[in-house]
Homo-oligomer: A and B are copies of this chain.
């Protein structure tokens, strides 16, 4: 029987706001006025405030001393740190996955890999991004650590915003393909160290691309500050 999960408005709004932030629909540094936002979304302030508290806890929003929230601005240094930490945690996820992945989970990873190759060949960027996200989610599931999954989710909120805006996904498809393959192979072989290493390289690989773009852009626009 299909399990029916009831989402509260507050949670729904949390997801929606997060997407809006990541997609850059809101300016960094911008003040978020509850009344206006609530009206815009067609809800009352209560569930909106729930979402704001959650996003503050995740570090996307910053509480002003005087009250209210601001979309937290951040710089290249912070993104670099986030990438490093993400590499650390994703590597551990990969290692855990190598030790604990079930055959079904490995099969799912293989399927994702195949789909990824296909999307890369067809230059379907949206699907590529989607499959990439799925790849990491599958791995987290295989790793079986809820804690790591949660922490990574938070970090991604901060980084994704930049990545989405700046990295030319075109290039990414090419090397991600091979990186993913290496990781899956290590997981399938049950080689935790190799999986961790490959994942670490993969994350840093992507991070470098982001940072190059970011640093390069920093001179031109006072960019997200």
Residues in chain A within 8 A of chain B (CB atoms): 5-6, 8, 10, 46, 49-50, 53-54, 57-59, 65, 67, 78, 81-82, 84-85, 88-89, 92, 145-148, 150-151, 154-155, 158
Contacts and interface: CB of A to CB of B under 8 A. Distances in A.
Q: How many copies does the complex hold?
A: 2
11 contacts: A6-B65, A10-B53, A53-B54, A54-B54, A59-B146, A59-B147, A78-B146, A82-B147, A85-B145, A85-B148, A151-B155
Contact of A57 (B5, B54, B88): B54
A54 B155 CA distance: 17
Contact of A50 (B53, B85, B88, B147): B53
A89 B88 CA distance: 8
B59 A57 contact: no
B151 A85 contact: yes
B54 A147 contact: no
A78 B92 CA distance: 15
Given A57-B57, A150-B59, A158-B147, A85 B92 contact: yes
Nearest to A57: B57
A49 B50 CA distance: 8
Nearest to A66: B6
Contacts of A10: 53
Contacts of A158: 147
